[in-house]
Amino acid sequence: MHYNRAMGRTRRASRLREHRRQRKTLTPPLLDLGGAPIRALNWRQTQPDMLWLAALLIEFEADWRRVDCLEAIDPFVPKWRKHIVDGRLTSFELIPQRRRPAARRALWDREPEALPEALGHALAFFPDCPGAWLYEEWAEERDHDAPAGLAYLRRLLTETTDSRSVFSEHARMLAFGRQLAHRKIFLPASFDVDPFTRYPGGTTQEEGARVRQFCRMTFDTSLMADGDEAREQWARRFWRECGRLARSKHPAARGL
């Protein structure tokens, strides 16, 4: 038995008898949810859904708390919906079509930088992408700048390629914070929130790494529990189009 200290609390390794056996497979408690083993999150299926969050980190120079601008469109999500707009592209589809023009104006009025032009040019390669309505009026007034869109798309993909990079973890933290604020993820009353309130400027390097790791693991687990088919469908369309762009031999498409 060994012990690790995380978030100021001591955690022991799980004992063998606490694992769930299924034939020859042993599943440890932390990878077991509702009697079914949790598989590792397929980041390639998730990465395309994180493009707006990644753009927010770039445009706001890593000030990940600026995701509060989404409060402007919260009132446009029907109250009967169990999910919220957390910044993932598929989450923007929660807003009914008839309410989208007003939601778009509300977001623009609150934070124009939340809809960067470069992202509009990048998403224009995917006309059926979730959240495309955010740029509907913008696209009618501007010609598509393909080189600028490809360059920005390549940057977004480069920044988020490694699922465990600080950038990718911060992208998760944007959505994770929204889910916590809307009580979609619950923490026990005894949970030590002090490192989270001090992050990022007031934590040590070790504390910061633990904060990011906790958010990453909790966020990924919530996605796996949902089993979102819309996210997987969008990922398939996205990567198929990226393959077509790469085969086009456009200079700016290198690296897609």
Tell me the CA end-to-end span of the chain in Å, nearest whole number: 45
Q: Any bridge partners for residue 82, and if so which?
A: none
Span 197-236, pLDDT tens digits:
888 788 889 998 998 999 999 999 888 877 678 899 999 9
pLDDT the model gives residue 254:
64
pLDDT the model gives residue 3:
30
Six-digit token string for 226: 């949902």
pLDDT the model gives residue 137:
92
pLDDT the model gives residue 196:
82
pLDDT the model gives residue 41:
80
pLDDT the model gives residue 64:
65
Q: What is the pLDDT along the chain (256 residues), one digit of tens a residue?
A: 333 333 333 334 344 444 444 454 444 444 444 444 445 689 999 999 999 999 999 998 766 667 889 999 999 999 888 889 999 999 999 999 999 999 999 999 999 999 999 999 999 999 889 999 999 999 999 899 999 999 999 999 999 999 999 999 999 999 998 988 888 877 888 888 888 888 878 888 999 899 899 999 999 988 887 767 889 999 999 999 999 988 876 666 666 6
Average pLDDT, the chain: 82
φ, ψ of residue 203 to 5 degrees: the values are: -110, 155
Six-digit token string for 2: 């060994």
